[in-house]
Amino acid sequence: MQSVQQYLTDHSINPTIQRIVIMDYLLTHHTHPTANEIHTELIKQIPTLSKTTVHNTLKLYVERKVIQQIDIDERNARFDGIIEAHAHFRCKKCGCIIDVPLSEIKNLYPKEPDFLIEEAYINIKGYCKKCNKII
């Protein structure tokens, strides 16, 4: 938790216990959870944690660029503690979201562009290995 506290401090975020626990959850659970999923899990640890606190904390984290908000799910915003550039794959059957390294999709972007790419959001949809066997 000390490193999470320092990470937040380094990004000018006051490291309250709620903020530390939320950030720690995102860094250790790579399931791309929704705000409600985070709340449901963390309320077991902090019974006084409100949904508003979770939503406000996630909004702050996105603004400070310590997490990513992923809009790959049509119904819910999802959150990712990994901020390094990568793509996301979402299974159309089970809904799982999997990180995809950019090296695996490197041919999707120009090799020598005449422009500077600062951000890219790549969402891929299809069927995961498990669901593909069922189809």
The pLDDT confidence band at residue 104, using thresholds 50, 70 and 90, is confident
- Does the pLDDT of residue 57 top 70, yes or no? yes
The CATH number of whichever domain residue 102 belongs to comes to 3.30.1490.190
The pLDDT confidence band at residue 125, using thresholds 50, 70 and 90, is very high
32 vs 2, higher pLDDT:
32
Residues 73 and 93 in one domain: no
Residues 91 and 125 in one domain: yes
pLDDT (0 to 100) of residue 112: 65
What backbone phi and psi angles, to 5 degrees, belong to 128?
-70, 170
What is the percent of the chain where pLDDT is above 70? 90
Residues of the domain holding 105: 84-134
Query: Contact, 57 vs 15, CB < 8 A?
Result: no
The pLDDT confidence band at residue 85, using thresholds 50, 70 and 90, is confident
Residues 31 and 89 in one domain: no
Residues 15 and 73 in one domain: yes
Residues 67 and 92 in one domain: no
pLDDT per residue over 70-84, tens digit each? 988 888 999 999 988
The CATH number of whichever domain residue 69 belongs to comes to 1.10.10.10
Residues 12 and 72 in one domain: yes
- The count of domains in the chain is 2
Residues 52 and 94 in one domain: no
- Does the pLDDT of residue 106 top 70, yes or no? no
